[in-house]
Amino acid sequence: MNTKKILMILCSAFITVLLLLAFAGCSGQQNAASSQGGTFQFTDSSGREVELPKNIERIAPSGPLAQIVLYTLCPEKLVGLASDISDKQFDYIDRKYASLPVFGNFYADTLNLESVMVADPQIVIDIGEPKSNISEDMTGIQDKTGIPTIFVQMEMDSMVSAYRTLGEITGETEQAQKIIDYIETTFLETKQKADIIPESDRVKVYYGQDKGLTAVVQGTVHSDVIETVGGLNVTVLEESIRGGAADISMEQLMLWNPDVILFAPDSIYDAAGSRGEWQGLSAIKSNKFYEIPEGPYNWMGRPPSVNRVLGVKWLSNLLYPDVFQYDMVKETQEFYKLFYHCDVTEEQVKTLLSKSTLKS
Amino acid sequence: MKTARETTQENTRETTAKYYLIAFSVLFAVVFVLSFAIGKYPISPGELLRVLFGKLTGTTQDWSNQVELVIFKIRMPRVLAGAMIGAGLSAAGAAYQGLFRNPLVSPDVLGASAGAGFGAALSLIMGLGYGAVTANAFIFSIAAVGIAYLVSIRTKKNPTLGMVLAGIMVTQLFTSATSFIKMIADPSNDLPKIIFWLFGRLNSIQQDELAFAAIPVSAGLLVLFLMRWKMNLLTMGEDEARSMGVNTRTVRIVIVATATLITAACVAISGIIGWVGLVIPHFARMLVGYDYRTMLPVSMLMGASFLMLVDILARTIITSEIPIGILTAFVGAPFFLYLILDRGNRI
């Protein structure tokens, strides 16, 4: 036999197999709704009708945001994680969850659907901002895994409704109600007090990350907390289409002349006080610069989740101590207990806030 | 006239080439089947065969729904994509390397990847659906190469050099445009999508995307395959090829057009998977020599097997997925370095 013949035979054999596989793949397969306790029809935030089991005991998160929210609601129902929990975060999160498998993040293209299937959850939940193809995406996961997949919208102003929905689905209505009460009280109180702060008294805030000159732009999710507590983010960039983080110059920052400067965790908080180029800013000279607390997550975003509720209390207290009179130690302890199921000592809170409290 | 010794040498060469071809066909078949069998969800080879056989003969389903979903909905699209993209990029790379007579040329030398990246980033920031993202990546990829080609025809003396230079410029242009989009993209939503698109991945390729890309890729592969002999002539150089009666200009246009079509279609659905198109043709040349008649099919088989193999790693090393674009170089580069050290005289 010569090469050509062999090639021809192999090629045609291969093509035949491909075609057969393709046809086999196309033929429909029936969906077995196999769960005790029956099912119910649920319409998710993207408008999809999904049949869900009534008693949900096993849940897979599709991304880090869902992981955090579900952890606050029903940690023992998680069958896996979207992203690794770091050593630092385990100060506040129970070590026993370290053994859970890490499935990956759907919106980072790292969600391993086979790993999800191995863990055998009854439902896959995505939580967060609505993405442009959300309905298609969720249907895709559900079609490939055979596991009901839903999206629950959750932004700063839709936290309450998201927890209500999640509480109903998971059956954790009691914990959900506690969280809802906390969030509603906090936001209502903040809004009432922030609304009456006169325009002239509003504090101008700059929020920098990385080397300090990467600004978090006004209007983005990461800047939400500033606006909620009645502060003014000085980084207003018109030319930015949607507004992300933007590199700015020190000269621009001096022109903005913020009253208070916030640095992201692991930015240059420690060095800012001694660096020459930062000394032209009145906020630095008058010691009004702080680092955003982090543990287990950044209090102002990244990811923009429930951590921001405490961020609202912290920042309002920091910017307007006369209006928002909180004992941040107590507040922190209460929040961590309710959301992260974790008792933190006064010592721990003080370390957590060591770079984040008013300097006299 | 050939001497007797030359004829024998040529014969042995052809025999070895034939064996390589058979060996790589077998390798391809083995990896192809393995790709269906290996993954995080445990499916035994027996079960796999039972399901496939059951599907082919149409017997009633006596296996679980999960097993069927894993095989046909999760693994099949990515295995087929891996085979197609691996073969496509390798063949395109081999064609370009011969055309430019330069071993450092990769399939995106004329700007195909940069154009696709820009098209995808632009669509993502505009919040378009996946179909539009893929279509725009494909269109911009072809447009980028088109611009490079139009610029290059102004260079009369050395058309291939002109093409490479124009390609570098177009690549830079589109890359900076993509960077600009990244700069203005929303960091919590659009930016990660763009970054992960650029990484390159097989796991999120949809069945309809696969069908969309299969047409240009298979048509392109067929054309390249039929032009193997002409490519041989072209590698000898412009003047030599012309003296053999080849219309070098036409051949060049056809090769550029086909290789671009293949690359654009691959990159549009998978994102940027580097390295395969650059190095697989080298492996093939090292093993079977410069004759495109065997080198091209061996490249295709090798590239397909390589990408399917790396994809097995991408989905099994850790419990989550690793973007395959990151892994290709990680896996391939050390092996290539070893080959250089071991048999550098043959490169």
pLDDT band at A215 (very low <50, low <70, confident <90, very high): confident
Whether A3 and B17 lie within 8 Å, measured CB to CB: yes
Rounded CA-CA distance B106/B159 in Å is 18
Residue A241 has pLDDT above 50, yes or no: no
Most A CBs within 10 Å: which of B229, B313, B320, as the mutation test of the A interface?
A: B320
Q: What's the token pair of residue B40?
A: 């995080």
At A94-123, the pLDDT tens digits run 999 999 999 999 988 889 999 999 999 999
Asked if B319 lies within 8 A of A220 by C-beta distance, the reply is no
What is the Cα A149 distance to its own chain's centre?
19
Whole-prediction pTM: 0.83
- Which H helix or E strand runs over B196? helix B190-199
Residues of chain B found within 8 Å of residue A145, distances taken between Cβ atoms: 69, 74
What is residue B332's three-state secondary structure? helix
The answer to whether A123 and A169 have CB atoms below 8 angstroms apart is: yes
Q: Name the nearest CA neighbour of B79 among B210, B199, B198, B197.
A: B210
Grouping H, G, I as helix, E, B as strand and the rest as coil, residue B271 is: coil
CA distance B224 to A63: 43
pLDDT tens readout for residues A171-201: 999 999 999 999 999 999 999 999 999 999 9
Two structure tokens written together for B198: 């650029």
**Contacting residues of B for A222, CB less than 8 Å apart:** 187-188
Match 């006004």 to its residue by tokens: A218
Q: Rounded to 5 degrees, what are φ and ψ at A57?
A: -115, -15
Among the ranges given (A311-320, A332-341, B322-331), the one the predictor scored with the smallest mean pLDDT: B322-331
| Segment B249-307, tens digit of pLDDT | 888 889 999 999 999 999 999 998 988 998 899 889 888 888 899 999 999 999 999 99
- Across the interface, whether the CB atoms of B187 and A24 are under 8 A apart is answered no
Q: Is the pLDDT of residue B85 over 90?
A: yes
Which residue of A133, A241, A243 is in closest CB contact with B130? A133
Query: Across the interface, do A107 and B192 touch by the CB < 8 Å criterion?
Result: yes
Is the Cβ–Cβ distance between A265 and B207 less than 8 Å? no
The pLDDT of residue A5 is 62
Contacts of B199 in chain A (CB under 8 A): 109
Lowest mean pLDDT across A316-325, B156-165, B196-205, B273-282: B156-165
pLDDT at A236: 85
The answer to whether the CB of B258 falls within 8 A of the CB of B224 is yes
Nearest to B130 among A115, A136, A144 (CB): A136
Tens of pLDDT, residue by residue over A282-331, are 999 899 999 999 988 899 987 788 999 999 999 999 999 999 999 999 99
Picking from B125, B189, B319, the nearest residue to A102 by CB comes out as: B319
User: Across the interface, which of A6, A104, A132 has its CB nearest the CB of B320?
Assistant: A104
Angstrom distance (rounded) from CA B3 to CA B12: 15
Q: Which residues of B touch A146 (CB under 8 A)?
A: 65-66, 69
Chain A to chain B Cβ contacts (< 8 Å): 140
Cross-chain CB nearest to B190 (options A111, A143, A242): A242
Please state whether A341 falls in left (phi above 0), alpha (psi between -120 and 50) or beta. left
**What is the three-class DSSP state of A39?**
strand
Q: State the pLDDT at residue A181.
A: 96
**Mean of pLDDT values over B70-75:** 92
Q: Which residues in chain A touch residue B192, judged by CB atoms under 8 angstroms apart?
A: 107-108
| Structure tokens given for B79 | 């295995």
Give the pLDDT confidence score for residue A2 in this predicted structure: 59
Q: What is the pLDDT of residue A29?
A: 39
Please tell me the distance from the alpha carbon of residue A168 to that of residue A68, in angstroms, as a whole number.
Answer: 18
Q: How confident is the model at residue A10 (pLDDT cuts 50, 70, 90)?
A: low
Counting beta carbons within 10 angstroms of the beta carbon of residue A274, is it exposed (0 to 12), middle (13 to 18) or buried (19 or more)?
exposed
